[in-house]
Amino acid sequence: MTTQVHVQSESIRQPVVPGASDTIGLSATRMALRLLGRVSPEKAGRLVNHMAFRPSRLPMPSRYEYLLDSVDGYTQLQHGAYIIPVYSWGNGPVILGVHGWSGAGIQFGAWITPLVDAGYRVVLFDAPAHGRAQGERTDLFDMAEVVAKVAASVGEIHGILSHSMGSLAAARAIADGLQAGYLLMLAPPLSLRSVMDHLGRQLGLSAEVLAVHLRLMEEQFGPSVWDKLDMESLSRALTQRGLVVLDQDDSSIEPAQSERVHSGWVQGDILRTRGLGHHRILRSPLVLDKVLQDLARTELH
């Protein structure tokens, strides 16, 4: 099933990686890496590798900050040495939100009241080194583990809402055994490798410098890192009903990548929008209405 929607355009941030804003400081970083790369691609690549696992914190307060004052439940989970905050609203089948890189759970704030009014319990959390969670470094495997840990703490998961690189973490958690009846992926990237290629372009890295970073990733996670975080492979294994939403004006994740994610997902629908970019898609009433309809038709498991 394919749905086409057009909405008014709005300026959006230019990210280094999905969710990170393009600032004067970023321009300085590009220049420094370019100069260092000419002298020593190895040192520049190691610096990129160090930076790649340090997400930016979402600027606070967010537009939905007030909702944190009305939570029905708040718990803290221990993940390694770090504390992970978990928030919940409402009662009923659980809808779990998985934010993207440099994001935070409260980015799903627009979903809370409509879902609670529809009879669901909304559970949001901040991944390590994100939002109000402790830590300075994390990675997608780490985030996938936290998704599974939060899910285990709240019981059966009726549906998962995921955004950007959070979609990779959610899909990895499902591949590792997490059960969920429905999965929403907002602007999912094709793979971790595509995200790294995007990072290289945004930072103006030479092929030699990027190769060092990729080599270090394989040394840390193993050569299978690219296969384990490849959404084409992960989506083919999905048995859940669900939805991929992409926006034609998304400059963080190329819409063609999200199209390919959908193409391998037998039970997945697709919703195409225009003018929402990478972040307004998180609070689109059109997307919310479509997901509410889908959830109502999804059987509890």
**Over the stretch 86-99, which tens digit does the pLDDT of each residue have?**
999 999 999 999 99
pLDDT tens-place string over residues 118-133? 999 999 999 999 999 9
Q: What's the chain's average pLDDT?
A: 91
**What's the CA gap between 110 and 108, in Å, rounded?**
6
According to the model, what pLDDT value does residue 120 have? 98
pLDDT class of 12 with cuts at 50, 70, 90: very low
pLDDT class of 59 with cuts at 50, 70, 90: confident
According to the model, what pLDDT value does residue 25 have? 65
Q: Judge whether 258 and 187 are in contact, CB under 8 Å.
A: yes
Q: Judge whether 102 and 55 are in contact, CB under 8 Å.
A: yes
pLDDT class of 5 with cuts at 50, 70, 90: very low
According to the model, what pLDDT value does residue 151 have? 98
Task: Kindly report the CATH number that applies to the domain delimited by 1-19+71-191+231-301.
Answer: 3.40.50.1820
Helix H, strand E, coil C: the string for 259-289 is: HHHHHCCCCEEEEEECCCCCCHHHHCHHHHH
Q: Please report, rounded to a whole number, the percentage of residues in the chain having pLDDT higher than 70.
A: 91
Q: 67 or 16: which carries more pLDDT confidence? A: 67
* Across 158-163, average pLDDT: 98
The answer, yes or no, to whether residue 15 has pLDDT greater than 60, is no
Q: Judge whether 147 and 169 are in contact, CB under 8 Å.
A: yes
Local structure of residue 204 (DSSP, 8 states): T
Q: Which of 50-54, 56-60, 247-251, 291-295 has the lowest mean pLDDT?
A: 56-60
pLDDT class of 252 with cuts at 50, 70, 90: very high
According to the model, what pLDDT value does residue 23 have? 55
Q: Where in the chain is the domain with CATH 3.40.50.1820?
A: 1-19+71-191+231-301
Amino acid at 107: Q
pLDDT class of 28 with cuts at 50, 70, 90: confident
The answer, yes or no, to whether residue 10 has pLDDT greater than 90, is no
